Amino acid sequence: MSTSRFCQLLDVPERTWRRWQAHARAGRRPKGPWPQPARDQVREAVLRHAGQHPSWGHRKIWAMCAYDGYTASQATVMRVLQDEGMLLSTNYTKERRDLAGQRKKAFAIQPTRPNEVWQLDFSAYETVAGGTWQIAGCRDYWSKYEFDYHLSPTANQYDAIAALEAALAEAEAMVGTTLLDLATDTVTAEITPILTIVTDNGGPFRSFRFQAFIATHPELRHVRTRVRSPGQNGSRERGFGTLNTKSCTANQSTTPWTYSATSPTTASNTTACAHTRPSPSTGPRRCTSAWPTRQSPPFKPRKSCQLLDTGQRGRRRWPVRRKWRA
């Protein structure tokens, strides 16, 4: 990895990194950390108020600390929250807009061939014994091809990287060459990202290790969907739904709790998902035999609404306003 790309990954200016590198090679003692008496004095009160009121900003927390008798500036309170990671960065709005632009760019032009847009996500499957397996896998947006799944009892950043590595290895085996060679220009030797990985905003996909893995593969581009918008990752969600339901109905064997390994959608990947409890919508056998329909409640005649004046049915009499004489 080049130094400029490494500094961009760490969000550190390249001149600063060069200066640190020169000082380390010269054997100079690094400066700091410097004492912070103002922050240490008010840190406990700031963290207490910030934990009780997560939606408050640093100004309101500063006012509460001042009411408690602490003498600290607003900048000190803001720095304490920033050190603890409890303050939104100033470029938060810019990052959200950049992500929105990347999402629009990823689907502005519909993919016309495989290995252009992949969708990656996790799905949980409950076993008969009561355990839960986490399945991570990539799905090609254009061809709807399911790459090899990664099964694990956890769903963290390491599992996401392992699932992506398995999908890349399978794709390169089918193509016959690496994706990096396809992304490299034969004339200028420039590398252009040719594959977009679409995920949601889960913790494994926002982690530093996953971002570092994407950065070490210049042929990849990572795009996160909008918050609380699973429809933008709909192809991946429908694939997991097919794995959970359609494979159960396609299997006509006598073993009701085993998925079929010959389903055209899941191919050979369903053999690792055997002995999984199907959803109540499909049932272990046919829906009509396994899940009998509930009888409708007995019919009750509708009560007719009668007028107040029973002598004038069908005609409403308005009360007559009487005039009082003096």
In a domain, 122, yes or no: yes
Neighbour-count burial of 225, counting CB atoms closer than 10 A to its CB (0-12 exposed, 13-18 middle, 19+ buried): buried
Q: Would you list the DSSP string of 57-108?
A: -HHHHHHHHHHHT----HHHHHHHHHHTT-S--TTHHHHHHHHHHHHHHHHH
Distance separating alpha carbons of residues 255 and 126, to the nearest angstrom: 17
Query: Do 62 and 190 lie in a common domain?
Result: no
Query: Do 121 and 173 lie in a common domain?
Result: yes
Other Cβ atoms less than 10 A from the Cβ of 216: the count is 11
300-310 pLDDT, tens digit per residue, is: 554 444 433 44
| Last residue in a domain, options 83, 111, 145 | 83
Q: How many independent structural domains does the chain possess?
A: 2
The answer to whether residue 17 scores a pLDDT higher than 80 is yes
Distance separating alpha carbons of residues 257 and 79, to the nearest angstrom: 56
Structure tokens at 258: 């085993």
CB 115 within 8 A of CB 179: yes
110-147 pLDDT, tens digit per residue, is: 788 999 999 999 998 887 787 889 999 999 999 999 99
| Last residue in a domain, options 83, 118, 139 | 83
How much is the pTM? 0.52
